[in-house]
């Protein structure tokens, strides 16, 4: 489901620099990043919470999310032509398949998920357990909710 029309990837400057470094790392391996979601206005967070009231996947609006700080990004790997690589689940699949330890899938999808994580972690991001596609800037706490 699409919650807002703006297709720009907005992030804090420091977070954006880390994302660029992660992409450069992957380019050297023949891949690149495709971003699905980055900064998210709090107004959108409220709407999303109405659809998915599950704190494993959506932060409640009264607490706000790291997306609302401009320091989180949802993304995947693509080849150099922009074709999606196989992953354990689709984006925003709020099931067991989304978890970073889910292994009842192809070896190729696990390999791709872990390559994505390696690139992001080496460049200043942290994973969360419930979503293979979500990464937080490890310095997110220095940013306020926008």
The residue ranges of every structural domain in the chain are 13-137
- 7 neighbors 39 (Cβ within 8 angstroms): no
Is 118 among the residues known to form the active site? no
Structure confidence at residue 33 (pLDDT): 98
Q: What percent of the chain has pLDDT over 70?
A: 99
Give dist(CA 37, CA 8) in Å, integer: 9
pLDDT of residue 2 exceeding 80: no
Average pLDDT, the chain: 93
Winning range, highest mean pLDDT, from 41-55, 60-74, 126-140:
126-140
Q: Of 50, 43, 84, give the one whose Cα is nearest residue 67.
A: 43
Q: Per-residue pLDDT tens for 66-82?
A: 999 999 999 999 999 99
The domain 13-137 having CATH identifier 3.30.1380.10: the answer here is yes
Q: Of 77, 75, 49, 79, give the one whose Cα is nearest residue 64.
A: 49
Active-site choice (131, 138, 139, 141): 131
């Amino acid at each position: 489901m699409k919650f807002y029309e703006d297709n720009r990837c907005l992030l804090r400057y420091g977070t954006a620099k880390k994302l660029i470094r992660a992409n450069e790392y992957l380019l050297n391996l023949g891949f690149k990043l495709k971003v699905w979601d980055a900064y998210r206005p709090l107004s959108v967070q409220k709407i999303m919470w109405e659809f998915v009231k599950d704190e494993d996947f959506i932060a409640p609006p009264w607490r706000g999310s790291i997306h609302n700080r401009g320091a989180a990004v949802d993304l995947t790997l693509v080849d150099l032509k922009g074709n999606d690589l196989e992953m354990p689940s689709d984006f925003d699949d709020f099931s067991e398949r989304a978890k970073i330890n889910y292994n009842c899938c192809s070896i190729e999808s696990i390999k791709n998920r872990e390559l994505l994580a390696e690139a992001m972690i080496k460049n200043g991001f942290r994973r969360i357990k419930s979503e293979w596609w979500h990464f937080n800037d490890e310095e997110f706490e220095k940013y306020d909710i926008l």
